[in-house]
Amino acid sequence: MSTPTGFMEFSRQLPIDRDPSERIKDWEEFHKHMSEEELRTQGARCMDCGTPYCHTGIDMAGGTSGCPVNNLIPEWNNLIYRGLWREALDRLHKTNNFPEFTGRVCPAPCEGSCTVGLIGQPVTIKTIEQAIIDKGFEEGWVVPKPPERRTGKRVAVVGSGPAGLAAAAQLNKAGHNVTVYERADRIGGLLTYGIPAMKLDKGVVQRRVDILEAEGIEFVTNAEIGGNIPAQQLVDEYDAVVLCGGATKPREFNIEGSDLVGVHYAMTYLNGTIKSFLDSGLEDGNYISAKDKDVIVIGGGDTGSDCVATSLRHGCNSITQFGTHDKAPLERDSLGNPWPQFPNVYTLDYAQEEAKAIYGQDPREFSIMTTKFVGDDSGQLQELHTVQIQRLIDDTGRKVYQPVPGTERIFKAQMALIAIGFDGPEQTLIQKLGLETDRRSNVKAHKGRYTTNVDKVFAAGDMRRGQSLVVWAINEGREAAREVDKYLMGSTVLV
């Protein structure tokens, strides 16, 4: 505990971001750093709440409450208050392999369940987390730590996203020889191709990959298991295989006109920009550009927001983001959305802040559904036709959307980006290994065990649970590694 009355004495403070009208001119991260004194004060706001829900990490009411990797938040908040940064880093790394990722891209369910949030503004947990790990790198405290001895066991990890990297890091720590296979040309999965550079600098990803490689992990790129490398080959050659391929199959949006030129899936759009940026600083032109176009983003989640921010940096003419959900209230509904559930309140994400700074208003349209795309004689998208909707509960208890008569509208657009989520993992590898799937097409592997119906094959992350948060992927990668270690050695040294 820092100081008993800190949460009453000090107000919540966040770092000042770069000016939105300036930061859209580049692809650099937009958060600025707080001073150590400011961070110490924020750490002082962490109270002795008895049962800290901030690190519970449980699914609640369709969302996440608390930290899925069970970060020891009150402990490192106290250490920061006392100025013990290196000790804070040790406590942070005890539960989280990659706090530099979560400190940048996690939506911070820990803050949503912070006890201080019951009576005021929660502790700035995410900001402190990022500050701890960034200082650790700046001071040279984060260095490769190869295992002292090797077990002789060989493990293949398929996929180098957060789940795959977490599993690999833990299995390597246990002394196993780990090889990570990635089908893209760079390591990182969605951390590299999926999250734009202004949210997560790719140098931050590569910095951690370099450490993992120095610790003894082997990385193989341009390696598609079930494609240019036979799936069975891994099962035959390794003592265990951990599948962490993610949930990358886009949810289809087949309405009239969806085949028009200018209609794209979000990840195709984002990945192309990221790769071109990394390859040439966008000089090669090998990406879908929104320059001078009226852009509609269909989907109100994080991926949709990333499309908004990317379009602004391309130099779009206008940007609008559609969501089927209602506009959230300004304050938490204490009955329908009580603490410690993740708070459903109206906020502006970084992308909406940028759009508002440029165009003068929030770019989002709420409770709206696209009914068709309309193009010109050459097949180029020109318009989106929409209708307002209301959400109802049908006789079976399902949520359904019903159009509101008389609310039809037409939006001008030459580009539409589909960001409505994913329908589970791609099926090629799953089918070639004969893996069982659940009703949502995810690999069937019970949480806590991560074993599949095929001997020595495990599955974790979005490939097992479906589209989720980076922090849940890290959680599952760590837990799967522990189960693999048990499988190989009869017991485990991992926690």
Angle formed at CA 147 by CA 70 and CA 135, multiple of 5 degrees: 55
Beta bridge partners of 361: none
**What are the C-alpha distances in Å from 398 to residues 69, 299, 301, 380, 440?**
31, 20, 21, 37, 16
- Tell me how far apart the alpha carbons of residues 455 and 269 are, in angstroms, rounded to a whole number: 38
pLDDT tens digits, 404-461: 999 999 999 999 999 999 999 999 999 999 999 999 999 999 999 999 999 999 999 9
Q: How far apart are CA 364 and CA 355, in angstroms?
A: 10
Using the 8-state DSSP alphabet, how is residue 33 labeled? P
Residue partners of 281: CB distance under 8 A and separation at least 6: none
**Taking the chain, what is the end-to-end CA distance rounded to the nearest angstrom?**
25
pLDDT digits (tens, 9 = 90+) for 226-280: 999 999 999 999 999 999 999 999 999 999 999 999 999 999 999 999 999 999 9
Report whether the peptide linkage leading into residue 107 is cis, meaning its omega lies within 30 degrees of zero: no
The predicted structure's pLDDT at residue 5: 87
- Contact (CB, 8 A) for 98 and 328: no
Q: What is the DSSP letter of 84?
A: -
Q: Token match 């008389």: residue?
A: 406
Between β-strands 294-298 and 415-418, what pairing exists: parallel, antiparallel or unpaired?
Answer: parallel
Which residue is it, tokens 């929409």?
Answer: 386
Per-residue pLDDT of the chain (495 residues; tens, 9 = 90+): 567 889 989 999 999 999 999 999 999 999 889 999 999 999 999 988 888 999 999 999 889 999 999 999 999 999 999 999 999 999 999 999 999 999 999 999 999 999 999 888 999 999 999 999 999 999 999 999 999 999 999 999 999 999 999 999 999 999 999 999 999 999 999 999 999 999 999 999 999 999 999 999 999 999 999 999 999 999 999 999 999 999 999 999 999 999 999 999 999 999 999 999 999 999 999 999 999 999 999 999 999 999 999 999 999 999 999 999 999 999 999 899 999 999 999 999 999 999 999 999 999 999 999 999 999 999 999 999 999 999 888 888 888 899 999 999 999 999 999 999 999 999 999 999 999 999 999 999 999 999 999 999 999 999 999 999 999 999 999 999 999 999 999 999 998
Domains of the chain: 6-138 (1.10.1060.10), 154-248+424-489 (3.50.50.60), 263-418 (3.50.50.60)
